[in-house]
Amino acid sequence: MTTATTADEGIWESDFVKEMVKQMRALDSYGTYDGWPNERVLAPYIVTKDQRREIPVIGDPDEVLLARVKAFYNGLAVLVEKECGLMATSVINITHEGFGRALIIVGKLVVVDRTLRDVHRFGFDSISKMKDEADKILSVATTIIGKYGEVAGL
């Protein structure tokens, strides 16, 4: 019988998941994550549908949650940079109500433009769903860079 953990073992070797672990460990200024397995470090990104329903949308998103959102898009920016060889920067703007935008910019070119809604509920059903979403975003970003490489190089 195949468990979710067994099925997802290869995912832990992917560049995206490795980068997300680095991003999350970088946020740990007090060494809390030292000795934690990668699965536990990335566990806050896993939010099931039932858990999402229980999270109230009213109230300000806390700093820990905002840091996780920023880490996700910073991780994507690192992978875009790795793929195209040009510096990529993530820009995140989220209001106190949990709405905003996430941009990834390469040169003068915006390669990712995501509207963020209900940031209180930011998360994915599983690590594989998170990786799938990241792969889609990266695919679009690299396609845009390929099409408008001259602007990306500015």
| 100 and 94 Cβ atoms separated by less than 8 Å | yes
Q: Which two tokens stand for residue 127?
A: 């690590």
| 84 and 123 Cβ atoms separated by less than 8 Å | no
| 130 and 151 Cβ atoms separated by less than 8 Å | no
Q: What structural domains does the chain harbor?
A: 10-152 (1.10.3100.20)
Q: Which of 102, 86, 101 is nearest to 151 (CA)?
A: 86
| 108 and 86 Cβ atoms separated by less than 8 Å | no
Walk along the chain (154 residues) and give the pLDDT tens digit of each residue. Answer: 334 454 567 899 999 999 999 999 999 999 899 999 999 999 999 999 999 999 887 878 999 999 999 999 999 999 999 999 999 999 999 998 889 999 999 999 999 999 999 899 999 999 999 999 999 999 999 999 999 999 988 8
Q: Which two tokens stand for residue 135?
A: 């792969």
- Residue with token string 């998103």: 61
Residue 66, H or E segment: helix 63-84
